[in-house]
Amino acid sequence: MSSLDSIVNLITLFDRDSIAKDSMKVKTIKKKLFENKSSIFKEYIYIEDWIKGIAFKWYLKGKFQSAINLYNTNILLFPLSASNYNNLAEAYKGNEQYDLALSNFNKSLELDTANNLYKEKIKNLENYLQNKEQ
């Protein structure tokens, strides 16, 4: 197994909630991925979807902090992907961190201005927050 394979295999650790929810452990893995991202992207073209899939699993299980950590990893690696910001926003929303959710929905719209779904999500969250204040 090459050293690059070993680094990429660190992603499998994200399947463990004890690691995925630990911001420091995720940060360590994220750093190794980021430092080697150009080499990784040449050989592993589906890495964004792989991380997104694991994050979505945690999201569906209500493990929002784990999902947030992994979506943030994807944003570090793929900062121009509107869907990564949208997914992060959904995880923040699930974790009741509404300001961060709104901020990330806005970032997703900034990157994909024609996406009506992002516009609708922003509008719905703003309405929810207004009604919550009343």
* Mean pLDDT computed over 113-126: 97
The pTM (predicted TM-score) of the whole model is: 0.90
pLDDT interval class at 111 (50, 70, 90): very high
Structural domains of the chain sorted by starting position, each given as residue range(s) with its CATH number in brackets: 3-133 (1.25.40.10)
* Mean pLDDT computed over 79-108: 98
| pLDDT(1) > 80 | no
pLDDT interval class at 134 (50, 70, 90): confident
Residue 87 sits at the vertex; the CA angle it makes with 83 and 91, to the nearest 5 degrees, is 170
In whole angstroms, give the CA distance from residue 57 to residue 66. Answer: 10
pLDDT interval class at 82 (50, 70, 90): very high
Average pLDDT score, the chain: 94
Q: What is the pLDDT of residue 132?
A: 84
Neighbours of 36 (CB within 10 A): 14
In whole angstroms, give the CA distance from residue 25 to residue 83. Answer: 24
In whole angstroms, give the CA distance from residue 98 to residue 71. Answer: 16
Cα Rg of the chain, angstroms: 16
For residue 59, give the DSSP letter: H
Q: What is the pLDDT of residue 100?
A: 98
